[in-house]
Structure 1
Amino acid sequence: MCNLYRMRSNAAEIARIFEADNLAGNVPDLAEIYPNQTAPVVRTTDGGRIIESFLWGFPPPGQIKRSVTNVRNLKSPFWLSALKRPDRRCLVPVTAFCEWTGAAGSKQKVWFDIPEEPLFAFAGIWRPVDGEASRFAFLTCEPNEIVGAIHPKAMPVLLTKEDASVWLTSTWENAEALVRPFASERMRTDTLSLF
């Protein structure tokens, strides 16, 4: 599961790429974003797309204590209630994401990005929380070849700026078509954290 990513761009670039108004203020260089940290998201309102800062991790269902960061079971009624609502889908801006390799105690970070798309997004969903910051999680799918070599269980659903409108405005039937492994040949990997 992807529980570490980075967003090293800025609010102006997020606004430009995803055609959104910035309500988040200054977006600092976020070299490592972990669950339960605040990060920018892009969502739609009646007035268009906006950038806001939300907390990463959906409030868990039932008696589960830990927040849920990744969405995998797209048939679950818990997730479908948000997935079927375009106003509850969001883009999570990303410049690279991490999976871990190696044995416990000697794990190493392996970073992935898209060279031709220095700023891309995870396909996300969000929800308001009474008296707290709104929360988000993002979808995962089967891994492609490059990610699967490190983490064979799943990878985040990656969206380019061309995918944004479909994810944010379409019916679930159309948006669900974006839930697929991203093309390996468009990605690169790095263990030295250069990007």
Structure 2
Amino acid sequence: MCNLYSLGRQGPDALRAFFQATRDATGNMPELPAIFPNTAAPVVYLREGERTLSMMRWGLPSPAFALEGRKVDPGVTNVRNVKSPHWRRWLKPEHRCLVPFASFSENTKDASGKAVPVWFAFGEERPLACFAGLKVEGWTSVRKAKDGETTDNLYAFLTIEPNAEVGAVHPKAMPVILTTDEERDVWLRAPTSHDATAHCSPGRPWRMRRWPSPPRTATSPRAGSDPSSSRLCPPPTTRRRSWSSAAATDRSGHWR
């Protein structure tokens, strides 16, 4: 389950250009080196036929059975079973969105048994990509007890069986990634959920690499941030490397 991802240094200008968004409602969006559940992040969706960029809160409404005996709904971050009646109602085009990311993480364990994020991206430069997402606007619930009842625009993204790179760390699932503008357009516009999800096949050969997170230090105070995306980290190298060769990395995933 992916519960942490990053936009690194990618700001609104880069997002508008990459997603060809003609409307931008993100306002003064900060850098987002670490995006956690129940926090706000940008998504792209169609509004009156135009791609629109807006901030929403990560975590769709939970199914009723998950809320039994609970007063707070923290939301569901990853959607796997799209055949469930709870999710089927939100598979229509008006509820679909794109979730921009530069890298995402899955947890592994270090020698002491402590969970450590391992980051996945399409390159050391952390180029933009996106997940296939769903959104629900104007949902009223109690997300945090201290805030009481709030009305929010919410999102989450779909997951499928992982490919080889992600499966080596997290064998249960990985986010659905849309790699071409055609895939992104189909996801946003396809009239039926069957057409929209036809490309969401398991084990797709996305060529990705991974980086273990460095230990938390005084110069890297945000636990879990992508080490190559934080403003506090040195900028990523621009030297190009062979992205498809497993021999280019050691067993920890670091470049040799």
Unaligned runs of 5+ in 2: 68-72, 141-149, 214-226, 230-256
Kept in 2, the 8 Å contact 1:157–1:182? The answer is: no
CA contact (8 A) 2:159 2:174 kept: yes
Q: Is the 8 A contact 2:38 2:74 kept in 1?
A: no
Structure 1 unaligned spans of 5+: none
Of 78, 83, 97, 2:86 maps to: 78
Partner of 1:2: 2
Between the aligned partners of 1:22 and 1:75, the Cα distance in structure 2 is: 32
1:178 pairs with 199, 214, 236, which one?
A: 199
Shift of 1:117: 7.3
Counterpart residue number, 1:194: 228
The counterpart of 2:75, out of the listed 63, 67, 71, is 67
The one of 29, 38, 51 equivalent to 1:36 is 38
Alpha-carbon distance in structure 2 between the residues aligned to 1:151 and 1:53: 28
- What's the secondary structure of 1:98's corresponding residue? strand
Q: Quote how far apart the aligned CAs of 1:143 are.
A: 0.3
Moved over 2 A (4+): 192-195
Alignment check: 8 A CA contact 1:2 1:98 kept: yes
Percent identity between the two aligned chains: 42
CA distance in 2, matches of 1:66, 1:24: 23
- Is 1:100–2:107 an aligned residue pair? yes
User: How far 1:106 sits from its partner (Å)?
Assistant: 1.5
**Structure with the largest fraction of strand:** 1
In the alignment, the residues of structure 2 paired with residue 105 and residue 67 of structure 1 have an alpha-carbon distance, to the nearest angstrom, of 27
What's the counterpart of residue 239 of structure 2? none
Residue type of the alignment partner of 1:183? P
Kindly provide the amino acid, as one letter, of the partner of residue 35 in structure 1. Answer: P
| Conserved 8 A contact 1:72-1:139 | yes
Q: Paired residue for 1:150?
A: 169
Matched-pair contact (CA < 8 Å) for 2:41–2:57: yes
Helix, strand or coil at the partner of 1:82: coil
In 2, the alpha carbon distance for the partners of 1:18 and 1:110 equals: 26
Q: Which amino acid aligns with 1:144?
A: N
How many Å separate the matches in 2 of 1:42 and 1:173? 21
Q: Deviations over 1:42-66 (max 9, x none)?
A: 0101141100100000121215244
Measured in 2, the distance between the counterparts of 1:26 and 1:165 equals 27
* Pairing of 1:101-140 with structure 2 (within 5 A): 101-102=108-109, 105-115=113-123, 118-128=127-137, 129-130=139-140, 132-140=151-159
- Cα distance, 1:182 vs structure 2: 3.8
TM-score with structure 2 setting the length: 0.71
3-state SS in 2 of match to 1:143? coil
- 1:164 paired with 2:198, answer no
2:127 aligned counterpart, secondary structure: coil
Matching residue's letter, 2:12: A
Q: 1:12 is matched by which residue type in structure 2?
A: D
1:88-147 Cα deviation digits (max 9, x unpaired): 100000000000001685121100011297101110000011452200010000000000
Greater mean deviation of Cα atoms: 27-36 or 139-148: 27-36
CA separation in 1, counterparts of 2:54 and 2:228?
Answer: 27
**Secondary structure of the corresponding residue to residue 60 of structure 1:** coil
Look up the SS of the partner of 1:33 in the other structure.
Answer: coil
* Equivalent position SS for 1:97: strand
CA RMSD of aligned residues (A): 1.8
Structure 1-normalised TM-score?
A: 0.92
**Could you tell me how far apart the structure 1 residues matched to 2:199 and 2:45 are?**
17
| 1-structure distance, mates of 2:60, 2:82 | 15
Larger deviation: 92-101 or 125-134?
125-134
